[in-house]
Structures are given as C-alpha cells and as structure tokens.
Amino acid sequence: MKEHIVYVTVVLVSTMLSGCSLVDKAASKHISPQAIDGFITIDKGINATIDEYCGSEQNLDMTNLTENTWWPGCGYVTSFDDFDNCEGGCITKDMVKKMSDFNKKHPGKKVHYKSREGIGFEGKKLETITLGGWWLPAPNASDETPRIVVQHGFRANSNGFRSIYLGYLLRKNGFSVLLTNLRDHCYSGASKERIVEWGHAYPYDVLGAWDYATEVDGSINASMVGILGYSMGGFAALDAFALEGSIPGAWIDSAPLTPRAGFEVGFMEFLKGVLSEKFLKHLAGHLTGTVWKDIGDDAKKHGVDLEHHLPEEELPKGPHTARKLFVTANKKDNTVNFTSSEKLAKLIKGLPDQYTLEELWLPEGDCNGQTHVADMFTHSDTYSKKLCEFWSGVFGTKTCDVAGAESKSSRLYAEPAEGAHTFASPFPVSPILAALFASLFVGGLVVTFARYRVRSHYEPCSIRMLDPEDSAL
C-alpha cells in the first residue's frame, strides 16, 4: 500500500509539473544529502572502511595481516584457528597459511612518498599529500626486477584482502609490488577537502606512487614499472596511464569509466530496495541525474571536480607508442557492469597507434554472492597466469618464472566464495530505512506540492529511463 501511494503521488505530480521541478526539490532535500555522505564525504561514515586494519594499535604488517583482516566466507579473523569456522568452502586453511608464510618470509616494509604535483579545479594547484603504503620486493629481487603499483578501490586500502592477495600473486610470479593508498586512506596523509576525489587528485596520487616505485631501493628504468588498478582504483590508474606516457602498461580490473558510473549502480540498488518497480520505471533516470548533479555541485564547493580527468577524454591525448593494456571484468558484476570494460576496450581499439589491447577478459563467476573484483578468486589459477603473461610481455621478460619465485599452481580459494564485505552501494537498505525513505519522500512531495498554485495548463514531465547501454554500469 505504501509503495502504491508513493507511485501514484510521484507519477501524478511529476506529469503535472513542468520540468519535474517538484521531484527535483524532493530528491535534493531527502535523497541527495545521504548520497553525498555515502559517496564522497569522508568524515561522515566512509572513515570506517578506508582506514580499516591501518590503526597503530593493531600493529599490523605483512607478517600478520593475513590472519588479522576480513576474509570472504570467514569474516574478521584474528588467528589461523578462525579459518576453521569459514563457511562455503571458499578458503582452505592450508592455502591461506601458504600466503601468510610467503609474506612472513618476504615481509617488505612500510614506505612514504609524495603525490605528484598537478592542477585541479578552476586552475588551482592540487594539494600535495604524503602517501603511504607497502613496498614488497619479489623473492630474490634485484635492481632489474620489474615493479608494479597496485591501486585499491572505493572504500578500501592497501591492507584489504584484495590488495594483499594481488600483491601475493604478483610477487609469486617474480614482480616487485608497491601497495599504495590514496590520500585520506590508511597510511596516507589527510587532505583539506576530505572528499573522495575520483578524477580530481587521485590520478596524481597514483602517479606519485609510480614515481616512487621507479626509485625505491635503487632507481630503475620507467619502462620496467607498471600500474594495476581495480574498481575506482582502475579508474584512477587509467587516468594516470593517460597522463604519464612513460608508464609501459596497465592492468585494469572492473573499473567504471566515469565517477557517475561508479555511483549509479549502488544508487539504483538503494532505490530498488525502497521503491516499487513502477516508480523506478518512471523516475529512475531523472532521480539519478538530479542526485548526481547535487553530488558534483557539493564536491565543487570543496574545490573538487570529480570529473576533472576522465579516461575517455585523457586516453586519446596519450603518446603514439602502442602501450599495452589488459582489461578484465566479471560478466555478472552487480557493482560495475561489465559493459564498462567493453566500452573501454572499444575505446582502446580505436586508438591503435597509441595503445595495444592485449586482452579483454570477461569471465563469469559468483564468489558466494560477490561478483565485483572477484575473478582473482573465482578463477585464481587463470588470473595468476594471465597476470604473469601480460606483465612479462610488457616488460620483455622471457618467462614468468624467476629464481626464488614460488609455484604458480597453488591457489588461495578452493571454490568461488565471497561474503558481505564488498564495494557495494553506499546506501545500505533496511526495513527501517525503507519506511523512513518512503515517508520522507512522500511527505516532501506533499509539502512541496502544497506550495504550488494549481495552474490551468501543465506540460508533461520529461523523464529519461535508465538504459544499461547508456551507462558504464
């Protein structure tokens, strides 16, 4: 009954009022503040995840992170005994132990470095931040061992299970790794803006990490240092790759092509949890556009342009050196639609003198409900092999195997599995929230409508429905 009231009220009013001004007002008042806090405002809830496992009181490093973090199917673990209670068969205690033993044997060290200087919103100089992360040399690394910067995604950091697992896979295959953190995340310094910056400063954070990776423990030729980014980190890595023509290759996993694409799926999932299908059919596109504009406007008030750099705009400006890219995504990804990766591949193929698309890999797999940045788990052996072959091609090494590197046959996950610790919507849905949202939204419509004088003639509201082919999600 409540959904029926919402649907009837909104559709009738929205078709009566020219330009959907009533819906815009209600959305901006009742939805946008929550969207802003959930998507870009760091000090209002995002802190808990971006700084997870990074506190000095936890005293975590590569010797003990494996057994002191969150793992899918297991939850938060504090000892190896906790792996006996894992559900779904996704993790074997023996294989996690192998990863931990590897990291204990090759612990690396915590390092700090500066973000690269750049120009941001309205031509103002970007704030330079001291960033922090983990420098993890490969076994028996020399001053000629190739290096790869790994960039985390939204609401994540260098100590999350995805980053440390990627570091493990790469090092097993003989590549040294820098697990880096964006500004305001984990070991990195705080910015004045305290905003999730997307295309504004984040590409320069990635470039600062890449600059450092070319000189840590002895300088190395830039052609031997690549970048890997997943989710939002893939977006930032793409921008960095376009801005710095000396980066020889990039591996991009499940990246949205725009910040809005990174927002829309989560926002739509939120709306699906609180509103009827008929309501969504009529107003989803308009609500998304209104709320996204409010998010962008709020960011600009803080001096941040979320779309200051976009891969679609920056990649065509790159040098004509046929640099290599590998693009992958899960066809069942419900956080960033795999069509984003298809569009990226099409863009790359359209610039053959500038870039070489080594592969567009689109596997399928459901890791216990998780599908976003999950292929490294659901297709562990294949993912590791492709990582090795791609980077060996980028760096011109003869083989993936190097002296001291461990066998590539071991895998962390026995079966696809995942849990609730994901990059999902910044709009958590609960029965209480659903009821509150519905009542606030309908109430807002009624109050706002009461302020309007009834006119003798109205133009129908022009509403654009969401089209999956329109979005990178």
236 plus 336 within the same structural domain: yes
Distance (Å, rounded) from C-alpha 341 to C-alpha 328?
Answer: 7
Residues 121 and 83 grouped into a single domain: yes
Q: What is the CATH number of the domain that holds 208?
A: 3.40.50.1820
180 and 64, same domain (yes or no): yes
Q: Are residues 291 and 242 in the same domain?
A: no
Evaluate whether residue 317 is within a structural domain: yes
Does residue 288 sit in the same domain as residue 359?
A: no
Q: Are residues 88 and 35 in the same domain?
A: no
* 80 and 185 housed in the same domain: yes
Question: Mean of the pLDDT values across residues 272-293?
Answer: 78
Kindly calculate the radius of gyration of the chain based on its CA atoms and give it in whole angstroms: 23
Q: Of 340, 374, 395, which marks where a domain is finished?
A: 395
List, for residues 391-421, the tens digit of each pLDDT value. Answer: 999 999 865 654 334 433 333 333 333 334 4
Q: Which of 349, 379, 395 is the last residue of a domain?
A: 395
CA pair distance 167, 172, nearest whole angstrom: 8
**Highest mean pLDDT: which range of 33-37, 236-240, 336-340:** 236-240
- Residue 138: C-alpha distances to residues 97, 180, 369, 410 (Å): 19, 16, 33, 17
- pLDDT (average), residues 204-208: 98
Within this chain, do residues 148 and 195 fall inside the same structural domain, yes or no? yes
Under 8 Å between Cβ of 167 and 376: no
Q: In this structure, what token pair is assigned to residue 421?
A: 């610790």
**Mean pLDDT of the chain, nearest integer:** 82
Co-location of 147 and 79 in the same domain: yes
Regarding whether 292 and 177 lie in a shared domain, the answer is no
* Same domain membership, residue 250 and residue 276: no
Task: State the pairing for strand pair 176-180/355-361.
Answer: unpaired
C-alpha dihedral, 399 to 228 to 90 to 138, nearest 10°? 50
Helices 277-301, 32-39: inter-axial angle, 10-degree rounding: 60
pLDDT of the residue at 20: 62
Q: Residue 419 has what pLDDT?
A: 35
For the chain, helix (H) and strand (E) counts, in that order, are: 15, 10
Residue 47 has pLDDT above 90, yes or no: no
Domain around 437:
2-39+264-299+426-470
- Asked if residue 408 belongs to a domain, the reply is no
- Identify whether 402 is part of a domain: no
Q: Which of 349, 377, 395 is the last residue of a domain?
A: 395
- Please indicate, yes or no, if residue 224 is contained in any of the structural domains: yes
pLDDT level of residue 453 (50, 70, 90 thresholds) = very low
343-368 b/e (C-beta count within 10 Å ≥ 16 → b): bbbebbeeeeebbbbbebbbbebebb
Q: What is the mean pLDDT of residues 26-55?
A: 88
Q: How far apart are CA 60 and CA 133, in angstroms?
A: 12
Q: Give the predicted TM-score (pTM) of the model.
A: 0.84
Q: Bridge partners of 250?
A: 227, 325
* CA neighbor of 301 nearest in space, from 194, 188, 198: 194
Q: Is the pLDDT of residue 279 over 80?
A: no
Does residue 400 form part of some domain? no
Residues 219-224: what's their mean pLDDT?
97
Asked, for residue 409, whether it belongs to a domain, the answer is no
Q: Evaluate whether residue 416 is within a structural domain.
A: no
Co-location of 184 and 231 in the same domain: yes
**Is residue 44 a part of any domain in this protein?**
no
d(CA 118, CA 36): 25
pLDDT at site 454? 33
Residue 43, Cβ neighbours under 10 Å: how many? 11
Residue 180 pairs in a beta bridge with 133, 151
- Domains identified in the chain, total number: 2
**DSSP structure class, residue 190:** P
Q: Which of 227, 232, 294, 228 is nearest to 259 (CA)?
A: 232
Rounded percentage of the chain residues whose pLDDT exceeds 70: 77
Strand 323-328's sheet: what is its strand order? Answer: 109-114, 130-136, 176-180, 147-151, 225-230, 249-253, 323-328, 355-361
- Residue 136 scores a pLDDT above 90: yes
Q: Report whether pLDDT(460) > 90.
A: no
How many Cβ atoms are within 10 Å of 249's Cβ, its own excluded? 24
Q: Is the pLDDT of residue 123 over 90?
A: yes
Cα distance between residue 336 and residue 463, in whole Å: 24
In this prediction, residue 24 has a pLDDT band, given cuts at 50, 70 and 90, of confident
How far are the Cα atoms of 21, 40, 86, 201 from residue 184, in angstroms, in the given order?
36, 12, 32, 11
